[in-house]
Chain A
Amino acid sequence: DAKTTQPNSMESNEEEPVHLPCNHSTISGTDYIHWYRQLPSQGPEYVIHGLTSNVNNRMASLAIAEDRKSSTLILHRATLRDAAVYYCILRVLIAGGTSYGKLTFGQGTILTVHP
């Protein structure tokens, strides 16, 4: 399975930007980069995804390197509610005529946000 590598933990102050890096050097051309986060005592929650171009949504931005071997999730102004484990995932399309992807979670980055 395609793998991702993330720092174990990162810290930020409230209202400051956070840049969460991810390496995925074995990515293939059809793999999408997905980010999910998991708040304490909850299931994972979708954050953002992309293929080649940078992406923005109401939660975050995703910056993808030109060679696609790395990406960075950007939280523009961290809040205390953003404290969570952030997972960088390569979504692999399942072969055999299916139309859904398989998420293989990496170890994730524990983000701590200080008031």
Chain B
Amino acid sequence: DTEVTQTPKHLVMGMTNKKSLKCEQHMGHRAMYWYKQKAKKPPELMFVYSYEKLSINESVPSRFSPECPNSSLLNLHLHALQPEDSALYLCASSQPDRGSTDTQYFGPGTRLTVL
């Protein structure tokens, strides 16, 4: 099974709401990623977790709070977002490999709209 699942598929939230995005994989991968993708733009890396520890935060505002409760799950907690945060949020996972083959497997994304 090479599937990464993300829920919900779509999310509409107000600027004062708190919501969470969920990502799950059962491939035994120990690296997990959050990306943000604006319309007609490439994905941009936000966070990387390696072995359930946060290892990269690409200077993401604190209104985005990632969490990795176990090796299969990755959450992104959202609070006090701005309309410009509306985007497709993609989750990915890979098996860490110092060689070249840590292929990242992406989920279909959550389409977030902030009103």
- Interface pair A102/B45, CB less than 8 Å apart: yes
- Listed stretches A19-27, A36-44, A72-80; interface member: A36-44
Residue of A nearest to B92 (CB): A43
Mark out the residues of chain B between 47 and 66 whose CB falls within 8 Å of any chain A CB in the assembled complex.
48, 50, 55-56
Residue of B nearest to A110 (CB): B40
* Bound complex: CA A101 to CA B43 (Å): 15
Closest Cβ of chain B: how far from A46's Cβ, in Å?
5
* Bound complex: CA A104 to CA B35 (Å): 11
Q: Which residues of B sit under 8 angstroms from A99, Cβ to Cβ?
A: 96-98, 102
Number of contact residues on B: which range applies? 20 to 34
- Interface pair B98/A107, CB less than 8 Å apart: no
Task: Let me know if B94 is at the binding interface, CB within 8 A.
Answer: yes
* Bound complex: CA A71 to CA B56 (Å): 28
- Interface pair A105/B44, CB less than 8 Å apart: yes
Question: 1/0 per residue A8-33: CB within 8 Å of B?
Answer: 00000000000000000000000010
> A43-B90, A43-B107, A43-B108 in contact; A98/B42 too (CB < 8 A)?
no
Which residues of B pack against A, CB within 8 Å?
4, 31, 41-45, 48, 50, 55-56, 90, 92, 94, 96-98, 100-109
Which residues of A pack against B, CB within 8 Å?
32, 36, 41-46, 49-51, 87, 91, 93-94, 98-108
